[in-house]
Amino acid sequence: MTDTFTLNQQLAKDCIVLGSLGDSLLLLLNNSLVPWFILVPRTNACEIHDMPAEEQQRLFAEMMELARFVDNEFKPDKVNTGAIGNMVRQLHVHIIARYEDDYCWPQVVWGRPEKKVYTQKEIDRIVTRLTSRLKERFVVDQNLNK
C-alpha cells in the first residue's frame, strides 16, 4: 500500500468518508436512494490487475466482507459489485444494494440525476452497523461528525 495516498476529488465531493476497512478507505455515496458503498484501496495502481498479488487478495477479501455486510444488513434483491473507473481513474470498487423496486431497477445506477442526501442520523446508523458487524476491521474516520 502506498504512503502517498490521496482521495480523488470527485470521490471526495460525491461521498462521505466513513473510515477504513482493512487497507482500503470506505466511502458511502451521498445518495440514500440505494445503499452504495465504495472501497478505495490505498494504492497507486489504476487497475486491480496492476496491483501486487497480495494486495489483490487483501482487496478481494475486503470486497467480500463489505458485500456480505451489505447483503446481511440491507437485504437487497441483488448486490452489484464493480470497478469501472472511466470517469474517476483512481482505483475504486462499488458495492451497491439493489432492489427490484428501487428508483431505476433494472437499469444501472450510474449517471442518474435522482438524489436524496443522507441525514446525519442515517449516517450514524450505518456507522454503528459497520462497527458492530465488522468489529476491528472497520475503523471510523475521526472527521466523520465534524
- Quick: pLDDT tens for 16-44: 999 999 999 999 999 999 999 999 999 99
This prediction's pTM? 0.93
- By three-state DSSP, how is residue 133 classified? helix
Domain residue ranges of the chain, discontinuous segments joined by +: 9-134
Our CA angle for 114, 65, 24, nearest 5°, is 75
Q: Grid cell 501486487 — which residue?
A: 52
For residues 95 and 67, the answer to whether their CB atoms sit within 8 Å is yes
For the domain 9-134, what is the CATH code? 3.30.428.10
CA 56, CA 45: separation in Å to the nearest integer? 11
Q: Tell me what the mean pLDDT of segment 43-72 comes to.
A: 96
Locate 113 and state its grid cell.
Answer: 440525476
Torsion, Cα 72 134 55 95, to 10 degrees, reads 30
